Amino acid sequence: MTPEEWTAVRLSLLVATTATLASLPFGVAIAWLLARRRFWGKSLLDTLVHLPLILPPVVTGYLLLISFGKRGPIGAFLDEQFGIVFSFRWTGAALACAVMGFPLLVRAIRLSIEAVDTRLESAAGTLGAHPLWVFATITLPLCLPGVIAGAILCFAKSMGEFGATITFVSNIPGETQTLPSLIYTLTQIPGGDAGAMRLTLVSIAISMVALLGSELLARRIGVRQMAA
């Protein structure tokens, strides 16, 4: 593989890992809200979370560009107050991936939280546990397989994200040129087929390792919980 290809692989892994880990706490919180609470605007929140799943990725990328770009309202605020810049940086690629992976993350976690018996939670409450402790010691351990499944889905989505990323942060080698972006670039230039094929194989390998890893992890947790 060429240095350029290695850079793209490393960058993709960094972007996908950052996107997954950074969105995980928010994903768990929103999944819990949707699974366990009734509040005004719940269906609106549900729709917003799922929107990136049904919108064309280019539209999501464009919305990110006009809101999180240097002159966008959120982007300008974050730049001035905290010095955080998303546009045309790898962090922007991570943001795009997080937004695109978020519906998958929330969906998996929500389903697993809904499967946790609320009667166990109220039993923990009668034993003196504050609701936050109930969540940490009962709900979270019991829905962990779902959290892992959601995180892997989000990671896989981030590895393959193309449309929103290229629209939001472009295709800058070494900064925002992720694996799919480079494959796309290589298919556009004469003689790039070999490189595109190499990267495709790398892409398949990473996806399979991630999937197998999650399967093993979920099974180990499942076995521990069901252990006789």
Partner 1 sequence: MSLEVDVDHARETFHLVARFSAAPGLTAKTTLVDIVGGLIRPDHGRIAIDGQVLVDTARGVFVPKHRRRIGYVFQDSRLFPHLSVRSNLLYGRWFAGDGGAAANLTSVVDLLGIGRLLERRPDSLSGGEKQRVAIGRALLAHPRLLLMDEPLASLDEARRAEILPYIERLRDEAGVPILYVSHSVAEVARLATTVVILTEGQVTAVGPVADILSQTDAGEGGSVLEATVARHDAAFQLSVLATAAGELQVPRLSAPVGAAVRAYIRGRDVMLSLRPPEEISALNVLAGRVVAITPDANGAQADVRLDCNGASLTARLTAKSVQRLALAPGRPVYAVIKSVSFERS
Note the residues at the interface with partner 1 (CB under 8 A). 117, 119-120, 122-131, 133-134, 137-138, 141-142, 224-228
Q: How far is the CB of 91 from partner 1 (least distance, A)?
A: 37
Q: How would you write 65-131 as a 3-class SS string? A: HHHHCCCCHHHHHHHHHHCCCCCCCHHHHHHHHHHHHHHHHHHHHHHHHHCCCHHHHHHHHHCCCCH
* Residue number with CB closer to partner 1 (47 or 225): 225
Q: Cα–Cα distance between 161 and 104 in angstroms, integer?
A: 13
* Residue number with CB closer to partner 1 (44 or 227): 227
* Residue number with CB closer to partner 1 (43 or 126): 126
Q: How far is the CB of 37 from partner 1 (least distance, A)?
A: 16
Residues with Cβ within 8 Å of residue 164, at least 6 apart in sequence:
52, 57, 58, 60, 61, 64, 96, 97, 99, 100
Q: How far is the CB of 13 from partner 1 (least distance, A)?
A: 32
Q: How far is the CB of 223 from partner 1 (least distance, A)?
A: 11
* Residue number with CB closer to partner 1 (130 or 219): 130
DSSP 3-state assignment of 163? Answer: helix
Q: How far is the CB of 143 from partner 1 (least distance, A)?
A: 10
* Residue number with CB closer to partner 1 (19 or 144): 144
